[in-house]
Copies of this chain bind each other. A is one copy, B any other.
C-alpha cells in the first residue's frame, strides 16, 4: 500500500510512518519542518520504502502519483504559549494547516479513490461538561476563545472530512486522539510529562500548579499507533473513534513516579494554580467504540511507558 502521510517528521507522524514502513508499506512523508524534527526523518530514511517531500500542506500539493491512503497528521499541537512553536503563537498557520491541509488531502483521496484518515483530537470536546467523553458528545468549545485556533480548526477538519464522505463518497476515518506521550515527544511541548521528565533529568524539583490533585490520562504512543493502524485497515463506518488511555492519574502521583524512575531527589515545588479560560479541567476518553470496533485498548502501563520515554529524553539531552 502507498500512503501519503502529512506531519511525518512530527511525534505521532514519525511513529506511524515507522510502523507502516516496518509492515512493508510505502510512505511518502510531507512536512514543512516547522514543528517537526529532522532527527525523526533520519530514523525514517533508514527504510527503503520512505520518501520525504518538504512541503507545507497549506499550499497546493505536488502530484505524488497514485496513492492508496492519505493520513493527515500535520499540525502544530503544543498548547504552550511560552513556546514559539506552540499553536498560540502560530494561530493562523495552525488554522490553515487543519482546514487547507485537510481539504488538499481529501481532494487527493477523492482523485485517487484513496482512503483518508484525519488525526483529530480530544480538543474537539473543549472543556467538557460530561465525563468520560463519548464520541457522540458534541463538545464545549468557545469559538472566540484563545484555544479556538486549534479546537475549532480540528472541528472544521472533521466537518470537512464528513462532507467529502457524504458528498463524494470518500472512504474516511477520524481518530480523536487524547493525551499521548512517548519517545520523540518535543521537550518544550508544554504538557506535563515532558515538563516533569526534563526537570527530573536536570535534578530540579518538579513544578506542580495547585495541589496536584487534578487528574489526567496518558496513552503510550505505541498503543495509540496500534489503534490507528487497526482503524486504517478496518472496513468500517466513518464515525469518529476516540483513542486514549481511560486510566486517570493525579498530577501528584505522576510527579512522584517520574522522580522515582529518574532517581531525582529534588522533590516537588508547588506553585499557584494557573487556569486559562477554556483549559480543560478534566478529560477522559470513553473507548467503548474502539474496543468494540477494533478490539483495541491500551496495553502499556504508565511505569513502563515512562521508562522508555525517560531513556529517550536522557539520550536526546546527552545524558545517556
Contact = CB atoms under 8 A, between A and B. Distances in A.
A152 interface: yes
Interface string A165-196: 01100000010000000000000000000000
Given A141-B138, A156-B156, A163 B91 contact: yes
Contacts of A167: 91-92
Contacts of A155: 141, 143, 148, 152, 155-156
Contacts of A174: 144
A91 B95 CA distance: 19
A223 interface: no
Contacts of A100: 99-100
Nearest to A142: B138
A96 interface: yes
Interface string A247-259: 0000000000000
A112 interface: no
Contacts of A162: 144-145, 148
Interface of A: 91-92, 95-96, 99-100, 103, 124, 126, 138-146, 148-149, 152-153, 155-156, 158-164, 166-167, 174, 239-240
8 contacts: A92-B160, A99-B156, A143-B159, A144-B158, A144-B161, A144-B162, A145-B162, A156-B156
